[in-house]
Amino acid sequence: MITRDPASFLAHARTLAPDFGPATARAAFLVAPDGFGRAEQSAADNRYMAGATAFNAERASRQHRALQRALSRELPTLCLAGDPATPDAVFPNNVFATARPDASAHPGAAPRFVVGRMRHPVRQREALRQDIRGFFAGVLGYREIDLSTQPHPCELTGALAIDRARGIGLCGLSERCDEAGARLMHEAMGLRATFLFDLAAGEYHTNVVLAVLAGRAVLVCPTGFADPAAVEAIVALYAPHAIVLSAGEQAAFAGNAIALSPDGVWMSATADRALGAGSREGLARAGFELRSVELDAIEAGGGSLRCCVGEIF
């Protein structure tokens, strides 16, 4: 099912059992911030990006290394080299994603490696990296699905928040992902249902306004959605563990979070400091411990912790 209708989506999603696959990744990969700096093309539709003078490549590199060390305590986390020609490459989850077919329908089927179609040419260069493609296809034996050469933008888990337990996609449409691109991602990831909704004007990616946490909770920023009915459907699906974030929490990247284990949620220290008591209590009630890493230098690039993490399923 792929639909824009909130009521139809909610009715169908409630029938889906959490037997699609593991709710959290088995490993993670990062791309080092080599050559990290302001990408003017990306800045054209990313209001979270700082001015050029706010970028500190040395500090970004130190913080990124600390992020890898921190995540490695929770799951295997590898870091691939960056490229000065791709200053946004520190956010690989927009370009590369992995998935396993529906475990209940295709037990034992080979996992998939998906390459997305980026909107901006500066980021399209990342999709050409043969070392990353070779790692997944040649070393891990994943089946490659290449969406990078077709015309529709589909910036993978930047645009598409996924409930991996139930095979549900929540896809915000913007200049970074159109409806045709969303359908291509739905098929490539083998999802059971995808809900399409428009992001609010000025928002570029779903994953700064919405996070699905281990298939049982969500962080949602209502001001990031064009239609309140879309928010209501998502909140209803994940109640009582739908945590509604304030505009201040959103601005601090609290929505750009990720669960890498059944009991832990990661976000930046900036987001952690901005998180209110109600949101903290909501995470605790859902069974999550909050973990954070200082990433202010990385956040100058218009993304935060979740954007840095490529998941390996």
pLDDT of residue 254: 98
pLDDT of residue 45: 87
Average pLDDT over residues 60-73: 98
CA 67, CA 87: separation in Å to the nearest integer?
A: 18
| Parent domain of 161 | 2-312
Helix (H) or strand (E) holding 230: helix 228-238
Instruction: Name residues whose C-beta falls within 8 Å of residue 189's C-beta, 6 or more positions apart in sequence.
Output: 97, 99, 112, 114, 160, 162, 169
Helix (H, G, I), strand (E, B) or coil at 52: helix
Count of domains forming the chain: 1
Model pLDDT for residues 253-284, shown as the tens digit of each residue: 999 999 999 999 999 999 999 999 999 999 99
Six token digits for residue 6: 């909130």
Q: What is the distance of C-alpha 68 from the center of its chain?
A: 17
Given a cut of 90, is residue 104 above it in pLDDT? no
Average pLDDT over residues 86-111: 91
pLDDT of residue 108: 82
Average pLDDT, the chain: 96
pLDDT of residue 203: 96
Share of the chain above pLDDT 70, in %: 100
Residue 13 belongs to domain with CATH number: 3.75.10.10
Model pLDDT for residues 155-179, shown as the tens digit of each residue: 999 999 999 999 999 999 999 999 9
Res. 87 pLDDT band, cuts 50 70 90: confident
Q: How far is CA 231 from CA 6, 141, 161, 205, in A?
A: 9, 38, 14, 15
Structure pTM? 0.96
Average pLDDT over residues 45-49: 88
